[in-house]
Amino acid sequence: MPGNLNLDALKEKVARGEIDTVITAIPDMQGRLMGKRFQAEFFLESAWEETHCCNYLIATDLEMYTVDGYASTSWAAGYGDYVMKPDLATLRVLPWLEGTAMVTCDLLDHHTHELVPHAPRSVLKHQVNRLRAMGLASAVATELEFFVFHESFDQMRDKDYRDMTTISPYNEDYHIFQTTKEESLMRAIRNGLQGAGVGVENTKGEADPGQAEINVCYTDALEMADNHCLVKNAVKEIAFLNGRAVTFLAKWHHDAAGSSCHIHQSLVSTDGNAVFHDANAEYGMSDTMRHYLAGLLKHASENTFFLAPYVNSYKRFMAGTFAPTKAIWSLDNRTAGYRVVADGTRNVRIECRVGGSDLNPYLAIAAQIAAGIAGIENRLELEDEFRGDAYQARRAREIPGTLLQASQALKKSKMLRDAMGSDVIDHYVRCAEWELEDFNSKVTDYEVRRGFERA
């Protein structure tokens, strides 16, 4: 079950004084939690059925700026309301916040009470429903990386994000002694999430000073996206409560490794059988798995925006950094964009290594499913496996190198327009366009330091 509470249990906890606050939250376009804190008694009186929010929440940038050019909402249309409909299956206690529970909501049109099609949770639900109509379900796990710093968020901001000190002075990949120094924070994160109903597998040090990774248990696509969104919020909140800062920026410094979000994915039948596995096939990969992977590769460029949504996201894609530069597949090969893992077993699956820690999980997983369905429906033939160092594969399919390239591929994608609807794709094309417009209007530190005297 996604959450660890039901309505009756919440009523009992409120009556005993254990819960006094209920957060109702939606994932926004950036994959952040947005919503309200209810007095628990009022939530139980009426807000458990529905509440409301401004529809601009699915038409802003990272700064919450009201961006022009969206068809769904605008100043001319008056920025009206959406309905926030609590999904009570996601109701849970948040152990790191005193007396607090949380529920994730769907966004509904205020007049029709239909799902808002471009809301991230709706986008993913639509792809899950497409799979269900095929007798299939998606099983997903995301690996989420981030950096931890000695300073607090407030100290970082006061220093204008300069002279930041990572919590480790050296590469801590799998390093037990170094991660012992960080365990007061990491233990609080693991136990907090476990107590919130998110099955945590582990935390570990990653491949650069101060870099960490958290892995949560494989589950269905929608629950995984809900969990991922909650994990990011929890890591930030628990770090804040412990006087630390963390960042999920894909590339926080040009000398540091990027932070990724690898997406492990497979399909199961409605009765729980592993659809990707065929014991008699090479690597245990069924025909369905091969078609699905072929779809991921064919439509890799079109999907890149949903895996790398910001200008900064593309700074990750560098040779020799474990971040891929080629959208090709290989067996257990971390230089390729798509890695086949656990070959020959019932757990054989695909790991997409393209995504950064800044992605929106609902949109990223939805785009992966859409491409996989296209591969299955069109019975696409899987290209030959790549072997060797993918960074040296000069003629291999490239991952788009900039947000501009990715946004152009998204705009032209017939597959995604057919799978998600043109209105949805146009909405996110506008999102990408604004990110570029805003960035291109700014003068960076690089330009000033390089050219102030020399130009």
- Please check whether residues 343 and 247 belong to one and the same domain: yes
- Please check whether residues 191 and 66 belong to one and the same domain: no
- Looking at residue 362, its pLDDT comes to 98
From 219, 206, 196, select the one nearest 246 (Cα to Cα): 206
Residue 232 lies in a domain: yes
Residue 329 · residue 293 · CB < 8 Å:
yes
- Please check whether residues 144 and 259 belong to one and the same domain: yes
Residue 187 lies in a domain: yes
- Looking at residue 3, its pLDDT comes to 84
User: pTM surpassing 0.95?
Assistant: yes
| CATH number of the domain where residue 191 is located | 3.30.590.10
**If you average pLDDT over every residue of the chain, what do you get?**
96
| DSSP H/E element including 143 | strand 136-149
Residue 452 lies in a domain: no
- Please check whether residues 422 and 362 belong to one and the same domain: yes
Q: Enumerate residue ranges in the chain where pLDDT < 70.
A: 1
Measure the CA–CA gap between 218 and 138, rounded to whole angstroms: 10
- Please check whether residues 264 and 328 belong to one and the same domain: yes
From 337, 415, 322, select the one nearest 383 (Cα to Cα): 337
Measure the CA–CA gap between 47 and 35, rounded to whole angstroms: 12
- Looking at residue 180, its pLDDT comes to 95
Last residue within a domain, chosen from 96, 118, 140: 118
Residue 104 bridge partners (DSSP): 25
Helix intervals (H) in 65-147: 120-133
- Looking at residue 271, its pLDDT comes to 87
Residue 345 · residue 279 · CB < 8 Å:
no
- Please check whether residues 199 and 270 belong to one and the same domain: yes
- Looking at residue 78, its pLDDT comes to 83
Residue 283 lies in a domain: yes
pLDDT tens across 305-325, in order? Answer: 999 999 999 999 999 888 999
Strand residues in 285-328 grouped as ranges (E): none
- Please check whether residues 280 and 336 belong to one and the same domain: yes
Last residue within a domain, chosen from 118, 137, 169: 118
Residue 101 lies in a domain: yes
Last residue within a domain, chosen from 77, 95, 118: 118
- Please check whether residues 74 and 149 belong to one and the same domain: no
- Please check whether residues 97 and 228 belong to one and the same domain: no
- Please check whether residues 60 and 114 belong to one and the same domain: yes
Residue 454 lies in a domain: no
pLDDT tens across 159-174, in order? Answer: 999 999 999 999 999 9
Determine the distance from the C-alpha atom of residue 160 to the mean position of all C-alpha atoms in its chain, rounded to a whole number: 27
Residue 63 lies in a domain: yes
- Please check whether residues 101 and 199 belong to one and the same domain: no
- Looking at residue 270, its pLDDT comes to 86
| CATH number of the domain where residue 32 is located | 3.10.20.70
- Looking at residue 2, its pLDDT comes to 75
Domain extent, residue 219, equals 128-446
Residue 38 bridge partners (DSSP): 22
Measure the CA–CA gap between 369 and 386, rounded to whole angstroms: 23
- Please check whether residues 93 and 185 belong to one and the same domain: no
- Looking at residue 379, its pLDDT comes to 98
Instruction: Tell me how many domains the chain contains.
Output: 2
Residue 334 lies in a domain: yes
